[in-house]
Copies of this chain bind each other. A is one copy, B any other.
Amino acid sequence: MIVVLKNGVSKARQDQLIEWFKGMNLGVHVSVGESSTVLGLIGDTAKVDLELVESLDIVDSAKRVSERFKCCNRKFHPEDTIVEVGGVKIGGGHFAMIAGPCSVESEEQIITVAKAVKASGASILRGGAFKPRTSPYDFQGLGGDGIKLLLAAKAETGLPIVTEIMSAADLPLFEDVDILQVGARNMQNFELLKALGRQEKPVLLKRGFAATYEELLMSAEYVMSEGNENVVLCERGIRTFEQYTRNCLDLAAVPALKTLTHLPIIIDPSHATGRRELIEPLSYGAAAVGADGLIIEVHNDPEHALCDGPQSIKPETFDVIARRSTAIRAAMTV
């Protein structure tokens, strides 16, 4: 960490600060410049609170040179992590196609969709049982009953399942779920993250819609530092001034995060924009920038169901996406 002191700081106060850093077992390298003095901190600065340092009245600014994330840092773990989900691999060259309905509604519905997406090449089934909704008056999902229906579809098709968990108190209901999803709104629900770090199932961690890359990685660190290293990251759009799409899908997050971390990163093109017609092209974009998988909402029986859930596509479209994504990934090797 580099700490730039303000002009005209007294020697006494400067020494007091240096002693404080030394008390944290850090080496301090002092460099006196023309207009300011710079301290270089040497050692494990992950525990130094950058905001606190910046807020000191004798400090002009501070800057981290090394990252704070350790468990997920590629520097300390250069090879890609491969996360296994019910026998399906994600990362390290393994591309996951995750599909299913927005909400689990009935046994017939979930089994129909599960069969359809399996036939089109999906390797994992998704479906919402606990649904985080902006309004308390919106449908909140079938809860535990929804999970039972997902398990029925798993029994029928053999597909592993992923579904969202909103509270550590619900963990017993997720015993047979293959990978636990943390939604964007809970990305910094640290109590939940710590609880998921103390159990063994893999975690699918979605980026909050206003979270930086570093914050996403620090949230992964909450899970991993408790012992669970099986984390899959997911970019699903960030909030900007543009209102034509619901969010802005940040595809640069994939190659950028891959330089920072060894964890797999997948893309959710369905929730990102809120516009069905953009799911297909953005899926291709995701494959092209190097994502490790896609998680897509697919609905059943579109002719008779008026309202299939927003952002869902038909199984036929999923079929095309699966085929072309494979071709794009092959194009990367020419």
A135 → B minimal CB distance (Å):
5
Asked if A213 and B188 sit within 8 Å, CB to CB, the answer is: no
Q: CA of A25 to CA of B174 in the docked complex: distance in angstroms?
A: 36
Given contacts A38-B65, A136-B221, A212-B243, contact A277 B289 (CB under 8 A): no
The 0/1 profile, CB within 8 Å of B marked 1, for residues 259-289 of chain A is 1000000000000111111100110111111
A22 contacts partner chain B, Cβ-Cβ < 8 Å: no
Q: CA of A329 to CA of B78 in the docked complex: distance in angstroms?
A: 32
Binds B, one of A92-100, A113-121, A144-152, A250-258: A250-258
Asked if B250 and A242 sit within 8 Å, CB to CB, the answer is: yes
The number of times this chain is found in the oligomer is 4
Asked if B188 and A134 sit within 8 Å, CB to CB, the answer is: yes
A276 → B minimal CB distance (Å):
6
The 0/1 profile, CB within 8 Å of B marked 1, for residues 34-60 of chain A is 111010101100110101101111001
Number of A interface residues at 8 Å Cβ cutoff, please give it.
Answer: 110
A238 contacts partner chain B, Cβ-Cβ < 8 Å: yes
A178 → B minimal CB distance (Å):
22
Q: Of the candidates B66, B190, B275, which one forms a contact with A166 in the assembled complex, judged by CB atoms under 8 Å apart?
A: B190
Binds B, one of A82-90, A104-112, A303-311: A303-311
Which single residue of chain B is at the shortest CB-CB distance from A209?
A: B210
Q: Determine the chain B residues whose CB is within 8 A of the CB of A226 once the complex forms.
A: 136
Q: Determine the chain B residues whose CB is within 8 A of the CB of A251 once the complex forms.
A: 249, 251, 282, 285
Q: Determine the chain B residues whose CB is within 8 A of the CB of A33 once the complex forms.
A: 29, 40, 42, 65
Q: Determine the chain B residues whose CB is within 8 A of the CB of A213 once the complex forms.
A: 242, 244
Q: Of the candidates B51, B287, B289, B306, which one forms a contact with A56 in the assembled complex, judged by CB atoms under 8 Å apart?
A: B306
Binds B, one of A154-162, A198-206, A320-328: A320-328
Q: Of the candidates B185, B186, B249, B312, which one forms a contact with A252 in the assembled complex, judged by CB atoms under 8 Å apart?
A: B249
Asked if A281 and B288 sit within 8 Å, CB to CB, the answer is: yes
Given contacts A56-B306, A239-B210, contact A35 B65 (CB under 8 A): yes
The 0/1 profile, CB within 8 Å of B marked 1, for residues 283-318 of chain A is 011111110000000000000001101111000000
